[in-house]
Structure 1
């Protein structure tokens, strides 16, 4: 990726605001991201995958259809009939946001979670700015070097090239 150190610095700052974890899908084209980064707890990611929750996750649906940021607590029974937000809370992901940005013909989005309280608006503003910076920095991305993947792993972040 071009300027990977800059992207990693942006990611590190944003991830500190989400102690329960995050997932970032970068540069969607034709409904598929070019890469994924995530560091949610393993029990949640295993449960999420086993139950195919991506297919019914209101945060993903919102992020694909909108730009901006939305709190998980604002999803109601109509927008989350499968109860994904409740299941996330059962796994310690009590409070969260989805943030989505579109520029230069691609979309990037990320969900961030915490256990202790709702995100404050100032934190949402920082996360949104960091997502925009990551989106811009990784626009011309081809792939990460092994050292960069190791750096992500040392931060507890799984990287998947799509």
Structure 2
């Protein structure tokens, strides 16, 4: 996923820390993130997915026990499946992770680079950035009934004209409802808004 506009400022602040990319799994609920942002290499992400590393990732395991930031090399980070060793073979020998939230809605970030360990100041900055992103991307608790109706009917594959007719409104009014729903959900497109609304349990 590309950088979402509400967190562009935070991601810009992050840009000087890693040189092998970053990833954020935001508001993990029922075992999967509501939003996933990654600039890690496509090769690593394909391998990570193919190996089913998400549920075995030591960054996720560590994040379930602490809020803050930590280096991958910290001896308290348990990696029985060798995920971080594998990351090193993909050109990411040094890294750090950060966590914010609790098991009901947990956000986890990871950054990596080649030239050496992250300093304590860099860890503190990384945690500050993740915490800001976590707050900005907090899932909505509700949409308006009109927004829910509009998203539900479009999610079935109904065309705009037919959907507007079913709702008894003009097509422009339907589009206005979808526009406000996208803005509220911080989604770029209507399909993305539908996906996020379903992820949040709103439709």
Query: The TM-score by the shorter chain falls in which range?
Result: 0.7 to 0.9
Query: Which runs of 5 or more structure 1 residues have no equivalent in the other structure?
Result: 150-159
**Residue in 2 that maps onto 1:154:** none
CA RMSD of aligned residues (A): 2.4
Find the structure with the greater CA-based Rg.
2
- What pairs up with 1:48-127 in 2 under 5 angstroms? 48-75=48-75, 79-102=78-101, 106-127=105-126
Does residue 1:145 correspond to 2:188, yes or no?
yes
- Say which structure is richer in helix: 2
SS in 1 for 2:24: strand
TM-score, normalised via structure 2 length: 0.63
| Alpha-carbon distance change, 5 to 49 in structure 1, aligned in 2, over 3 angstroms | closer
**Higher normalized strand content (fraction of residues):** 1
Question: How big is the shift at 1:17?
Answer: 0.9
Moved more, 25-34 or 130-139: 25-34
Q: CA deviation at 1:117?
A: 0.7
For residues 82 and 106 of structure 1, the distance between their equivalents in structure 2, rounded to whole angstroms, comes to 25
Structure 2 CA distance for partners of 1:79 and 1:118, relative to 1, 3 Å: same
Q: What are the Cα deviations for residues 55-90 of structure 1, in whole angstroms up to 9, with x where unaligned?
A: 3211111112321112111247x8212211111011
Please give the alpha-carbon distance, in whole angstroms, between the structure 2 residues aligned to 1:38 and 1:86: 19
CA contact under 8 A between 1:58 and 1:75: conserved in structure 2?
Answer: no
- Measured against aligned partners, the alpha-carbon deviations of 1:73-132 in whole angstroms (never above 9, x if no partner) come to 1247x82122111110111111111100117x6321101111111111111111111111
TM superposition score normalised by structure 1: 0.78
Q: Flag the structure with more relative contact order, 1 or 2, with Cα contacts below 8 A and sequence separation at least 6.
A: 1
**Partners of 1:8 and 1:135 in 2: how far apart?**
13
Q: How many residues align?
A: 145
Matched with 2:130 is 131
